[in-house]
């Protein structure tokens, strides 16, 4: 991976490495201008309430259309953007665009939905997120209760007291906070208890491990997911499962009291236009309906 080359590390020179550094360099050069050149766009993935089968929210996911390289995954360019110090510019664009799109759905008269935006740990550290959020809401006219921020556990591990203050500020504005990829980081339970947050998102890797390759429930995999759901509920938080690909996973999660699911079973991330057809109907497969 390009980012593993590190900024200041010495490397033995090899042609393969040369190709990789070249790719990184050219990605860097274009990433710096990608925002102003309008090369980013957002796609949207629904979250579904397991009790009602209805859309409970939408997550915005960024895509980069590089003029020569084509579609570059956020998994590849977000770490690079962090290294280069441009993550906050990208993050601000994403936030504004997501609020604008959400307001647009509201204006179309669709049932008002909440939009979730991913905020990188570095962005959280280097900018005053409440101010950035306030200006995005002001400019787009989206009421704060329709905005949710998805933060990773890395954020919680920064200076705890300062993080608590910022999160309280955001929640006082009416914004919801969820912890993304929960279980993959190293946040301590005592810190978690102190965090003013609303939901835990069970990481997709755990959802994937509920069943083995023969579609049998695995003891360990099932136990981990159940435990995270219970933990969320004990802390008075919602539990959301991501990466749900099969009806069996959704049924299992429902039986464990999981509140919401998200994944290819229901919908891949789609354009703002295509999302419209997903409003106002049951999104769960037949077997889920009572």
Task: Give contact residues for ligand C2E (rule: CB under 6 A).
Answer: 45, 61-62, 73-75, 78, 91, 94, 118-120, 150, 180-181, 204, 242-245, 263-264, 269
Q: Which is nearer to ligand C2E, 46 or 192 (CB)?
A: 46
In whole angstroms, the minimum distance from the beta carbon of 269 to ligand C2E comes to 5
Please report whether residue 181 would count as binding Mg ion according to CB under 5 A. yes
Residues 5-34 that bind Mg ion (CB under 5 A): none
Stretch binding Mg ion (CB under 5 A), from 69-77, 131-139, 180-188, 218-226: 180-188
DSSP lists the bridge partners of residue 47 as: 57
Tell whether residue 148 is a contact of Mg ion (CB under 5 A): no
Q: Which is nearer to ligand C2E, 30 or 118 (by Cβ)?
A: 118
Distance from C-alpha of 78 to C-alpha of 204, rounded to nearest angstrom: 19
CB of 63 to ligand C2E, least distance (A): 7
For the record, the structure tokens of 136 come out as 């995005």
- 236-255 residues in contact with Mg ion (CB under 5 A) are 242
Instruction: Give 31-78 as a DSSP string.
Output: HHHHTTTT-EEEEEEEEEETTT-SEEEEEEEEEEEETTTEEE-HHHHH
Query: In whole angstroms, what is the distance from residue 27 CA to residue 66 CA?
Result: 9
Scanning the structure block, which residue is given the tokens 């919908």?
A: 267
30 vs 120, beta carbon nearer ligand C2E: 120
Residue 231 phi, psi (nearest 5): -60, -50
Q: What is the DSSP string of 78-118?
A: HHHHHHHT-HHHHHHHHHHHHHHHHHHHHHTTPPP--EEEE
Q: Is 259 an interacting residue with respect to Mg ion (CB under 5 A)?
A: no
* Cβ distance to ligand C2E smaller for residue 221 or 263: 263
Q: Closest distance between ligand C2E and the C-beta of residue 45, in Å?
A: 6
Show the beta-strand stretches assigned E in 154-248: 176-182, 199-202, 238-241
**Footprint of Mg ion (CB under 5 A):** 118, 150, 180-181, 204, 242
């Amino acid at each position: 991976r390009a980012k593993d080359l590190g900024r200041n590390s010495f490397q033995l020179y090899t042609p393969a490495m040369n190709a990789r550094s070249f790719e990184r360099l050219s990605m860097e050069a274009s990433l710096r201008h990608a925002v102003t050149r309008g090369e980013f766009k957002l796609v949207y993935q629904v979250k579904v309430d397991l009790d009602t089968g209805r859309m409970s929210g939408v997550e915005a996911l960024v895509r980069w259309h590089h003029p020569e390289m084509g579609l570059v995954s956020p998994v590849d360019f977000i770490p690079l953007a962090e290294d280069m110090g441009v993550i906050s510019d990208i993050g601000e664009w994403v936030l504004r665009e997501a609020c604008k799109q959400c307001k647009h759905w509201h204006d179309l008269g669709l049932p008002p939905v909440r939009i979730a935006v991913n905020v990188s740990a570095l962005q959280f550290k280097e900018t005053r997120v409440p101010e950035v959020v306030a200006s995005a809401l002001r400019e787009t006219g989206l009421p704060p209760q329709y905005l949710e921020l998805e933060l990773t556990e890395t954020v919680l591990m920064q200076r705890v007291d300062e993080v608590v203050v910022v999160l309280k500020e955001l929640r006082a504005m009416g914004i919801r906070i969820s912890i993304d990829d929960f279980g993959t980081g190293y946040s301590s339970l005592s810190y978690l208890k102190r965090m003013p947050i609303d939901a835990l998102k069970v990481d997709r890797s755990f959802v994937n491990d509920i069943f083995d390759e023969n579609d049998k429930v695995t003891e360990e995999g099932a136990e981990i997911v159940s435990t995270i759901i219970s933990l969320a509920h004990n802390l008075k938080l919602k539990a959301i499962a991501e990466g749900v690909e099969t009806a069996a996973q959704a049924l299992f999660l429902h039986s464990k009291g999981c509140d919401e699911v998200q994944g290819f079973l229901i919908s891949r991330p789609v354009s703002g236009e295509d999302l419209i057809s997903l409003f106002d109907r049951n999104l769960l497969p037949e077997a889920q309906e009572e």
